[in-house]
Amino acid sequence: MLRSKQERTRSRSLRVQRSLPRLGPIAVALAALALATEARAQPGMGGMGMGGMPGAAGGGPGQGKDKKEGPAEAAPKDKKALQPIDPVPAQPKGLRRLQLFELHGYMRTRGDYFHRLDMGLGDGMLTGDPSEAIDIDNKFKPPPATQGETVDGGVRVSDADCLAGLTANGTNASKAQRRCNRRNGTASANMRLRLEPTLHVTDMVRVHSQIDVLDNVVLGSTPDSFLGENPWAPIDIYTRTQEAPSDGRNSWQDSITVKRAYGEIQFGWGLNLKFGRMPHHWGMGIVANDGNGYYRGQRDDINRMLDMDYGDSVDSIRLAVDFGKDRRRTHTLTASWDWASSGPTTAQVLGPEWASRNNVGQDFSVEKFDNVYQWRLSIERRDDPSMLQRKLALGTPVVNYGAIAWLRYQNLDRVTGAPGLGDGLGTNPTWAEDNTDDGLGRYGSSLGNGDLDATGDDGHQNYTNLLIHRKALVVTPDLWLRVNWRTLRVEFEAAGVIGRFNQRDLEESPAEDNLVLEDIGDDDLSRQWITQLGYALEFKYGLFKDRFHLGLDQGFSTGDDAGGANRNPYNPLSVGGNSYHTAFRFNPAYMQDLLLFRELLGTVSNAAYFRPWAAFYFLQNNMSARLDLQYAMAHQRQATYGNKTSWGLEIDAAVRYHDVREPIFVQLQYGVLFPFGGFDRPANLYPPSGSNMVPNGGDAKAVQSIQAMVGIRF
């Protein structure tokens, strides 16, 4: 007998009620709503009234009164009906990925013009005979077309000489002289595409890298006519295309350079692990500077970030842990083990057949105790730019600070001035029998190809002959402090270098019997001591709603009374028997001027500088103009070229475009340096007239530069 619709509905309702305890509260509410809707839709049944009981309204005949509730229906005898529903297997847990791939970087093109980079001092050649050259320690040479050419040991007017060419065509001599003076300049342009991809394996695991494409390649420097016997372009005028730079063929570096690659793991309890070749930076960057440009909270920072040439990388395993009450008060404690240098590898001393996947599965360092080990320990309190801006918006002062110390140690090393990879002397040259050198030259023939030298020694044996007990230990402490309040920023970094190492007397020439230095041993080495100090101070204050900035940058670095080798601030070695190395050297990536420290000296060393500046922002902060005045003087005048205190006065001006919406950056800069007595050479070195140099009596002339850049950052 078929059940009525009312009985079927009541039975379904009881089944739903029995299953309700197994459902969540939301499911229970939805089920009750569904039963109420179905009850209203059944003919002959009233809607649900208060308490969920059937109401009389809308009922059929005989349903005007509520029926008495009868006994509850007996529970089903089937025990399986009372068992809970089997849970559905949970989805396997996995770490989420916020973004699989992230790409940043920039594309820039720069044009530079330098006028009289040699300061009018020439290249020191009097007659074209190298034996009669004058050592005037000039870093830059004048343009070749302005110099005489050597013929049979003498010098004659060059076929490209400007003055001779103009006067031969009938130009007035004085007018020709004025026109030719303008040729004492160098114009060039270069480009770089920097890619900084990040692979997000998960939201806690990342892989970073830095890849430079056509890194500072000079525009027009690799035409197809430069590749030798090219039938399509036997001379430059027939050049059809630019070739990709290739190391050893038409350039000293390849078109693509991978500079950094490292992994990062962020653990849940605040521990951060990094490993690989990574950027090396601390504080303002006067010691360790990654070359990515330091953020100072100014709108024109982005232009100066793109206008960088140097940058430090370190092979390291680094552990960092954050601790503090919250993100606003977080301190970071960092410790790392760095491989500053591991000495030559098997491939570097025995040739390419000992590189990876050839005679050996992987090439390796040939000597353990010549490694330069570096350890780092630091503590830092630094707000990221977004948090810094949030705090400054509240009008509260923000104080960031940090302290770091690096410790370096090396037991064995090549003797100072010996040939080999890594000492700046070229591609692993070996000494020739006719080599007469002061220990800092670059003579010899290539040895890194697995061949034997004149005495039958290979690269491995030659390296053995050069090892000495360096016993070097160097400590570099560094303090950093930054105070921000509203539009005020005061930032300071000071560092010292303290240490010692063994070194041979650089005034003694290496022996001429191939590689072995005569009677080399610990008794022939002298103990060298390092005591250096340097600091940088930056002050900035914004006026008129932070649209007009006034600032003062000041820095100091100790000098060495003996001067660096060839008085080159890049070179930390000194010649003259002085066993104390006191010349501190700023990281070259920190330089902010255009000529004095960035080009002529290369870095701040044996110098104190004072740089007041002013900047104005206009066109809704899309453009800015800046003027810098910089005066520099020497700490040790004995280490200058002219034995004078003053280096010079530089004036720099810049107009910059930095779009607030689009990542487009353009700048035009002009700089002029008036060198003072520190750059002058002794007048007795300069004859009244010279065939290959400007007879200016050793007086350094002014240097000028015009620089332009356009860039896109992404």
> For 615-658, how does the pLDDT look when each residue is reduced to its tens digit (9 = 90+)?
999 999 999 999 999 999 999 988 888 889 999 999 999 999 99
Residue 37 lies in a domain: yes
Higher pLDDT, 109 or 468: 109
Nearest to 333 by CA among 244, 402, 257: 402
Distances (CA, A) of 529 to 225, 424, 471, 567: 51, 22, 12, 19
* pTM of this structure: 0.79
| Residues 520 and 428 sit within 8 Å (Cβ to Cβ) | no
Residue 12 sits in which domain range?
1-43
Dihedral of alpha carbons 283, 289, 295, 299, sign = positive
Looking at residue 444, the DSSP 8-state letter turns out to be S
d(CA 560, CA 80): 93
Is pLDDT of 255 > 60?
yes
pLDDT tier for residue 507 given thresholds of 50, 70 and 90: low
Looking at residue 226, the DSSP 8-state letter turns out to be G
The alpha carbons of the chain give a radius of gyration, in whole angstroms, of: 38
Total structural domains in the chain?
A: 1
Q: What are phi and psi of 679, to 5 degrees?
A: -100, -10
The DSSP bridge partners found for residue 279 are: 313
| Residues 287 and 495 sit within 8 Å (Cβ to Cβ) | yes
Is pLDDT of 20 > 50?
no
The pairing of strands 149-151 and 101-115 is: unpaired
Structure tokens at 500: 């010692």
d(CA 165, CA 186): 20
Is pLDDT of 30 > 50?
no
Residue 123: the pLDDT is 65
Residue 252 lies in a domain: no
| Residues 635 and 647 sit within 8 Å (Cβ to Cβ) | no
Instruction: List, in order, residues 6 or more apart from 680 with CB less than 8 Å away.
Output: 641, 642, 644, 698, 699, 700
Structure tokens at 418: 């010996």
Mean pLDDT throughout 404-423?
Answer: 77
SS3 691: coil
d(CA 148, CA 128): 9
Which range (55-59, 103-107, 687-691, 707-711) has the least confidence?
Answer: 55-59
Structure tokens at 595: 């000529």
Residue 343 identity: G
| Residues 663 and 712 sit within 8 Å (Cβ to Cβ) | yes
Which range (100-114, 521-535, 585-599, 668-682) has the least confidence?
Answer: 521-535
Higher pLDDT, 403 or 591: 403
d(CA 554, CA 484): 18
Residue 132: the pLDDT is 52
Is pLDDT of 660 > 60?
yes
d(CA 421, CA 447): 10
Q: What is the pLDDT of the chain when averaged over all its residues?
A: 79
Residue 180 lies in a domain: no
Residue 22 lies in a domain: yes
Structure tokens at 704: 């000028």
Distances (CA, A) of 218 to 192, 246, 290, 478: 10, 14, 23, 37
SS3 43: coil
Structure tokens at 31: 């089920």
The DSSP bridge partners found for residue 256 are: 213
The tens digit of pLDDT for each residue in 68-91 reads 555 555 655 555 555 555 555 555
SS3 532: strand
Residue 200 lies in a domain: no
Residue 113: the pLDDT is 94
Residue 326: the pLDDT is 74
Mean pLDDT throughout 131-154?
Answer: 72
Residue 372 identity: V
Residue 47: the pLDDT is 39
Residue 368 lies in a domain: no
Helix, strand, coil % over all residues of the chain, rounded to 5: 20, 35, 45
Q: Which helix (H) or strand (E) is 649 found in, with range?
A: strand 646-658
Specify burial of residue 417 (Cβ count, 10 A radius: 0-12, 13-18, 19+).
buried
Distances (CA, A) of 279 to 78, 84, 110, 282, 318: 71, 58, 24, 10, 12
Looking at residue 14, the DSSP 8-state letter turns out to be H
| Residues 435 and 418 sit within 8 Å (Cβ to Cβ) | no
Residue 371: the pLDDT is 93
Structure tokens at 76: 């089903």
Residue 488 lies in a domain: no
Taking each helix axis from N to C end, the angle separating 25-41 and 5-19, rounded to the nearest 10 degrees, works out to 170
Residue 403: the pLDDT is 98
Q: What are phi and psi of 408, to 5 degrees?
A: -120, 145
Please provide the DSSP assignment of 43-98 as one string.
TT-PPB-GGGPBPSTT--TT-SSPPPP-PPPPPPS-GGGGSPPPPPPPPPP----S
Instruction: List, in order, residues 6 or more apart from 654 with CB less than 8 Å away.
Output: 625, 626, 667, 668, 669, 670
The DSSP bridge partners found for residue 652 are: 628, 671
Residue 103: the pLDDT is 94
| Residues 361 and 401 sit within 8 Å (Cβ to Cβ) | no
d(CA 631, CA 32): 85
Specify burial of residue 652 (Cβ count, 10 A radius: 0-12, 13-18, 19+).
buried
| Residues 306 and 313 sit within 8 Å (Cβ to Cβ) | no
Residue 353: the pLDDT is 78
Is pLDDT of 7 > 80?
no
The tens digit of pLDDT for each residue in 157-216 reads 778 888 888 888 888 888 887 788 777 888 999 999 999 999 999 889 999 999 999 999
**Is the backbone of residue 510 left (phi > 0), alpha (psi -120 to 50) or beta?**
beta
Structure tokens at 62: 């005989």
Mean pLDDT throughout 97-112?
Answer: 88
Mean pLDDT throughout 5-16?
Answer: 55
Residue 613 lies in a domain: no
